[in-house]
């Protein structure tokens, strides 16, 4: 998993509330068993017209969002079913972070487990970002997200601080999921199992 320390990138402004995981990655694309191959299907029903051409009105298809690596969205992002395919699709598309006023709990955890940083800012701060992005027009709007400092900033003076659990922060900074964190203790686990086995044989 790629560590997340500090990232600067263009934003895609998705000013919609209650975006659920079936909108992020529709159910017909969940047949793959690998973690890859979901990026082209991200937001499929919104992103494409019926004939498969990109929908010109959809936010990610606008010139301002070209090459975006930070998604700014409305409240309750990632609600609905708990499918881990949603952060897989977002990450494969190229997003490194999502900024929103709130996230569904399971989706938030799945993002952290897959190297995608969910940043919670106030609704006022997120709406300010939407306004700034709209004012920037096709030139696009750029943000820097610093996980070490827990701060979001922009060249035009926008700045905001965000909170994150120390445990999840450390996971992202080190690029480790829970399995990776456990494997760091492999020597201690092996020693514990050796001692437990010796105790059990001694009491037999």
Per-residue pLDDT 10s for the chain (204 aa) are 889 999 999 999 999 999 999 999 999 898 877 788 899 999 999 999 999 999 999 999 999 999 999 999 999 999 998 889 999 999 999 999 999 999 999 999 999 999 999 999 999 999 999 999 999 999 999 999 999 999 999 999 999 999 999 999 999 999 986 666 665 666 777 777 777 777 777 665
What's the confidence (pLDDT) of residue 186? 65
What's the confidence (pLDDT) of residue 185? 63
| 144: number of Cβ within 10 Å | 17
What's the confidence (pLDDT) of residue 157? 95
What's the confidence (pLDDT) of residue 183? 59
What's the confidence (pLDDT) of residue 90? 97
pTM: 0.87
Out of 3.40.830.10, 3.20.19.10, 3.30.43.10, 3.40.50.800, select the CATH number for domain 6-176. Answer: 3.20.19.10
What's the confidence (pLDDT) of residue 124? 98
């Amino acid at each position: 998993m790629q560590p997340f320390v500090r990232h600067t990138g263009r934003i895609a402004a998705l000013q919609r509330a209650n975006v659920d995981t079936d909108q992020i990655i529709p159910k017909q694309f969940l047949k793959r068993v690998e973690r890859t191959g979901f990026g082209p299907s991200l937001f499929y029903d919104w992103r494409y017209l019926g004939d498969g051409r990109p929908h010109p009105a959809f936010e990610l298809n606008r010139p301002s969002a070209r090459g975006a690596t930070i998604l700014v969205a409305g409240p309750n992002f990632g609600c609905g079913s708990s499918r881990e395919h949603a952060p897989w699709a977002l990450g494969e598309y190229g997003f490194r972070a999502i900024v929103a006023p709130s996230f569904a709990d399971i989706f938030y955890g799945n993002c952290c487990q897959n190297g995608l940083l969910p940043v919670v800012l106030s609704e006022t701060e997120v709406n300010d970002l939407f306004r700034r992005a709209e004012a920037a027009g096709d030139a696009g709007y750029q943000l820097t997200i610093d996980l070490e400092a827990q701060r979001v900033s922009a060249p035009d003076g926008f700045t905001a601080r965000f909170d994150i659990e120390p445990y999840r922060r450390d996971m992202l900074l080190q690029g480790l999921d829970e399995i990776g964190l456990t494997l760091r203790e492999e020597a201690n686990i092996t020693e514990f199992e050796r001692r437990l086995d010796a105790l059990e044989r001694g009491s037999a």
